[in-house]
Structure 1
Amino acid sequence: MITIGDIKAAQESLKDVVRKTPLFYSTTFSKECGCEIYLKCENKQKTGAFKLRGAYNKICSLSEEERRNGVVASSAGNHAQGVAYAATAFGIKSTIVMPTTAPLAKVQATKNYGAEVIQYGEVYDECYSKAVEVQKETGAIFVHPFNDDKVIAGQGTISLEILEELPDTDIIVVPIGGGGLISGMAVAAKAINPNIKVIGVQAEIIASSKISLIKNEIVTLPGVKSLADGISVKTPGDNTFKYMRKYVDEIVTVTEDEIAYGIFSLMERNKLVAEGAGAVCIAALLAGKIEVEGKKVVALVSGGNIDIAMVSKIIDRELVMLKRRISISVELQDKVGQLSSIITDIVALGGNVYKARQDRNWSSKGLEYTNVIFEIETQSKDHAKHIISNLEDKGYNLQVIEK
């Protein structure tokens, strides 16, 4: 098993390649969670995620003979970009197998870094099978995204950076898919301070590492695609399982709703764009899944490679879930001035009319009435209630439309 010496050697190999990413204190999240929360922003890393660390350290370790036939990898996106970047830096051909469901931004970025991309399957494990076929056909070196000691050592350099800057850290919270990231980070953290807790976070719908640790054996789950696609792994690695069993203190899970809220909260409160896997740590903290009161906690934002269309969907959805965008249907007399009057009333109550759609075809009261559907932006759930109750007090016949 690797030691902190291996991780420090990886840090030396990476010193002119990777960025030392920001670690900053979040006042907002700290107040909400009752502790000191710091965000380690690997979404600001080159290629947009931590994966460059492990991929580069692995490729750096290859001999000239091993590099001759190139490298092959399977990835949902971030490891793909890390391998492509590193391979191109060494002048090596890279072939990456990515799922058909991978965000377009990740696929295009991988190609832009110089890789040949093959899209196959829906989850990582299906990509892995295809990549093994390619490896056998070409003789290329397979760069595993997590079940490789050189990769694990590269990922562990994140803990070195954290503890150089914040040596009195009590808890480090880390996303888990196959386990490579948390394995390396846990080895480094525990070597520096054995009292540090290392806690993993996994998507509830595909919590293979958590279940494996509970059963004390490697478990394979059905392939399911989480919003946290970067950690949607059916089977943890046999190598990483040994590290997790020895060094990881706890694994908690988060729901898809909690992940979406984590992405939204990082954007709104800290102006950080995170992908699903990058948001699971703050999602777990906001959901109260980890005991952190009074502690100094570092939450890893592991990556920011999210499709912009998905960002738009999440923002719209969360605004509706938080009642900061509400829809109401109001019955009005179909005559001049009625529409402008209610809009004036809504604005006077602090609401912003986002959309208005009039259905003039039919009302139960007759043709002289019409139903108008309003989408209204509000400041909070309480503000939404205030608007609705005041409109009803003014005599408007309305219904709230639940989405």
Structure 2
Amino acid sequence: MSTDTTTTHAPPLTPHAAVTEYVTCRAEDLGAADRMIRARGIRGAEVFMNDLKPRTAPLTDTPEERAALVSELRAAGVRRLHSSYWAAPTAFVANVQFGELVERFESTDQLHEYFGDLTGAHMFSRWCDEYALAGELAADAYVFHLIDYMPVDGAWEFTVDRQVVLDAMAVLTQRFLRELEDRGLISESSPVIELENAGWGLEFGAQTADDFVEFLAKVHDPAHRLRLGWDLNHLLHAVGLSDGGAAFLLPDAEVTPRMRELERRAAGSVRDLSTAWIAQNVLDERLLDRVSALHVSDCPAKEVEYFRNGVLDRAHAVDGDRATRQEAGLRIVLDHYDNHVCLGDGVLDPAEVRLLVDTLAARHPLMVLHELKNAPDVWAELDRQRARLWSAPSGRQDAER
């Protein structure tokens, strides 16, 4: 539970004029959110829809419940909604190795319980209802994951090629857009759909600039709603230390020649490798005008490749029933991958992130989401991160001197 922090200090430098700021909030943070947001002069909060109502259920059951939810979110200053998501969409939605998915869940009954049905209708209905809620709130963005992962972290190997997964993400997104259009929910004035990049090691999906260029070329988006939200922590899942030097802690098949060149230039520095890796993707010229947001947080350098093709390294694996293995895998994910620590507590230099922000904001308006959802006190971490980010010298200004 977050502490009700009321004291805040304005950072010595302010963001670029084209930047609007947001902070991730859990359900328990919402009661204090509007007051805390106003005290800091930021635009609003982002909330994860599964925190508000389990993804297995409809978002709301009655008009009265819907009105109460809209009122609660408006009162909390919520301006961004983060979609619910499910594991294994490649198998479940695109029917790639569906039989293997059934075997891993042990029965179609368990599959039905997890997904809400056996057709995907519940999944898409829930997403459409969440997007409809974003429209009712006049939200600035609806965040949509292009991610494939296993329902028990580290328990099962990825047996589907990355390219097949990326193709399946295009199929899934195209169906989502068609469902929205069929319901009359999407237009050139409805909330942008911000595509969030997948992590590495235990996930596949759209992970690099090349992936997004290919993906966007395949998806028909007549309302021009699709944008990119680069999660910096997710990019850093790929990076760590091997024998004391900076490296991509990934299977050889996932490390491209361009990534090897980044390793060579970094000359052992994990900070230099991380900075160059992020810039190579976030500042890719082919995508600059599609970037709507940076999700800002950090990630300490790993020294172990905990997951390979989705499977947890045997030295760290835990025997036991599904619940025991699920808890152990999730703990490693939250400790070493999806930790979302404050900027500067990991491998990133706040000044380099400031340069990213300024470069994008000089091009078009940019949302900066302070992605600090794992912090015991999100408001204290928000203050620390904002102070580090906005007091860092602007690299663009330095370069122009």
TM-score by length of 2: 0.30
User: Quick check: which has more Rg, 1 or 2?
Assistant: 1
Higher share of residues assigned strand: 1
Question: Which structure is richer in relative contact order (CA contacts within 8 A, separation 6 or more)?
Answer: 2
